[in-house]
Structure 1
Amino acid sequence: MIFGIGTDIVKISRIEDMKSLSRFAEKILSTEEHKLASSYKDEKLIKFLAKQFAGKEAISKAFGTGIRKPILFKDIEILRDENGKPLLNPLGGVKKTMINLGISKSHVSLADEFVRPSGCRKGYTS
């Protein structure tokens, strides 16, 4: 059974226009996501940050809460498999919430086009 579906769209210029990309990255990225981000430069870094942000917002919406305790940016870790497919690796409060709600599977989709990256997430219960 599907628990929730969330989607989000981010305007890339919103990320480009930030005074401090490093401060934004520090606010939203987990340690492992920082490692991924370090492999990107300039436009690719901006797109990566925009997709991560959209994905995290989509995931929080699938829970029906938005970003607030116990669903926090750094606890929503979106990694990539060997083919580049995004995978949710829940941490902290997100992991506890998924266990408490019986959410056993999650699918994440991230996309970007020149102006607006988007993220979508579905959570399933057993």
Structure 2
Amino acid sequence: MKILGIGVDIIDNKRIKKSIKNNKFKNRIYSANELKLSSLSINKTSFFSKRFAAKEAFAKALGTGFRNSLNFKDIEVINDELGKPYYAKNRKITKLIQKNFNVKNFNCFLSISDEKDYSTAFTIIQTK
């Protein structure tokens, strides 16, 4: 297995707390599924901040940032039955990773965390 990309991001939670009051912002950044899942979260600021950081970290790991038609909504963060966050694979993300790194099979790893003032995310993309 070879590491193809690593990305990390940190976000000031106050910035997201202010931004999520605007529905246009939420609809531009978060997928329909993420918006639906947010209703289950007690701390909305934490929920949205961690996902924002995860999307930024993924774009950095990919090595392109938000270019070549990559949008925030293309990157979806969900949780497994134990609460572990992961990136939902979709056709667009799969094609971007395969093209950018010239690989067929890959894994994406995600770790997210937050404190009162900040949220952070760490991403690794590697070959299988």
| Counterpart residue number, 1:60 | 59
TM-score norm. by structure 2 comes to: 0.87
Alpha-carbon shift at residue 107 of structure 1 (Å): 0.3
Letter in 2 for 1:25: K
Alpha-carbon shift at residue 19 of structure 1 (Å): 7.1
Alpha-carbon shift at residue 28 of structure 1 (Å): 1.1
What are the within-5 Å matches in structure 2 for residues 22-101 of structure 1?
22-41=23-42, 44-100=43-99, 101=101
Letter in 2 for 1:23: K
* Equivalent pair of 2:79/2:85 in contact (CA under 8 Å): yes
Alpha-carbon shift at residue 22 of structure 1 (Å): 2.5
Q: Distance in 2 between matches of 1:69 and 1:91?
A: 16
1:24-51 CA-to-partner distances (Å, cap 9, x unmatched) read 221111121112112235xx11111100
1:76-117 CA-to-partner distances (Å, cap 9, x unmatched) read 111100011011113343221123332511100110011110
Letter in 2 for 1:67: F
| Counterpart residue number, 2:5 | 4
Q: SS of the counterpart of 2:65?
A: coil
Structure 1 ranges of 4+ moved more than 6 A? none
Residue of 98, 113, 116 corresponding to 2:115: 113
Kindly report the root-mean-square deviation, in angstroms, between the aligned alpha carbons of the 2 structures. Answer: 1.7
Q: Distance in 2 between matches of 1:19 and 1:89?
A: 22
Q: Distance in 2 between matches of 1:69 and 1:125?
A: 22
Q: Distance in 1 between matches of 2:16 and 2:64?
A: 23
* Equivalent pair of 2:20/2:26 in contact (CA under 8 Å): no
TM-score norm. by structure 1 comes to: 0.89
Q: SS of the counterpart of 2:26?
A: helix
Q: Distance in 2 between matches of 1:19 and 1:4?
A: 29
Gaps of at least 5 residues in structure 2 are: none
